[in-house]
Amino acid sequence: MYVLGFSLPFWAVFLLVILIIIVAWKIIKFAIKVLIALLVLFLLLAGLDYLGFFKLLTALFHI
């Protein structure tokens, strides 16, 4: 099999494809974890805002 003008055995190309798939999956898993963490943070801030926590905090520290 020729890849970019070089003759590579099929098993090497197969291994390279498997490696690329594994790395891509790890990147996708990390992105999903970051997205979930940001979603939880946003929901927490929205909940605190709904309960009036930030108004209380500003009133507490207002001189």
pLDDT tens for each residue of 4-51: 777 888 888 899 999 999 999 999 999 999 999 999 999 999 999 999
Query: Could you tell me if 52 and 46 are in contact, meaning their C-beta atoms sit under 8 angstroms apart?
Result: no
Per domain, the residue ranges of the chain are: 26-63
pTM for this structure? 0.67
Instruction: Write the single-letter amino acid at 53.
Output: F
Token output for 38: 């940001």
Contact of 14 with 6, CB cutoff 8 Å: no
Euclidean distance between the first and final Cα of the chain, in Å?
76
